[in-house]
Amino acid sequence: MTQLQFTQFYLEHFNSLKNFARSLTRDEVSAKDLVQESMIRAFKGKHTFKSGSSFKNWALTIIKNTFITNFNKTKKRRVVNAPIDDFVFALESKHAIDNNALSKMRIKEIKNCIKKLSPKSKAPFCLHVEGYQYDEISKQLQIPIGTVKSRINFARTKLKSMLLRKEMVAA
């Protein structure tokens, strides 16, 4: 099929193609977009059109397949186009009561566990918690950066195990 033949067939069946696209999308603008996208695909694949067969049926099949492909893409994305204010109810409840006592107890428990760490582990860990970088801690404590990382990791592991033991005892 030549470019001229494709254009002639397209113009001849344009209204049928647009009506079919409108029946799928139920929207005039989306139908025009669907026809345009489908005809670009059809033009690129015009070499697959078998002479003697129906251009209209071939084009309608391409429109249908393009619609299904686009529908599945948007279905997978599940984009929410609503403002965040519409979802505030899910993020926080106005009827919930903050339990600051429980939070304060957990913080106190964590601080007590940090106090129980060895001075070697506690110093780099506390500096790291305060926001210092590994190299800054290394310079301040005058120890190699690898040792800083090791001690911080050891302190984290030790704290986790101490806190887990406390939860098991409490439970």
Residues carrying CATH 1.10.1740.10, the chain? 3-77
Question: What does the pLDDT read at residue 171?
Answer: 43
Question: What does the pLDDT read at residue 2?
Answer: 83
Question: What does the pLDDT read at residue 149?
Answer: 94
Question: What does the pLDDT read at residue 80?
Answer: 62
Query: First CA to last CA across the chain, in angstroms?
Result: 77
Helix, strand and coil content of the chain, in percent to the nearest 5, comes to 80, 0, 20
Torsion of CA 116, 121, 122, 126, to 10 degrees: -140
The model carries a pTM of 0.45
Tokens of 123: 């110093």
Question: What does the pLDDT read at residue 147?
Answer: 94
* Record: fold of 3-77: Rna Polymerase Sigma Factor; Chain: A (1.10.1740)
Q: Are 66 and 41 in contact (CB under 8 A)?
A: yes
Question: What does the pLDDT read at residue 133?
Answer: 92
Which 8-state DSSP code applies to residue 116? T
Domain 100-170 has CATH 3.90.180.10: no
Q: Which segments of the chain have a pLDDT < 50? A: 171
Long-range contacts of residues 28-35, Cβ cutoff 8 Å, at least 24 apart: 34/63, 34/66, 34/67, 34/70, 35/63
Residues carrying CATH 1.10.10.10, the chain? 100-170
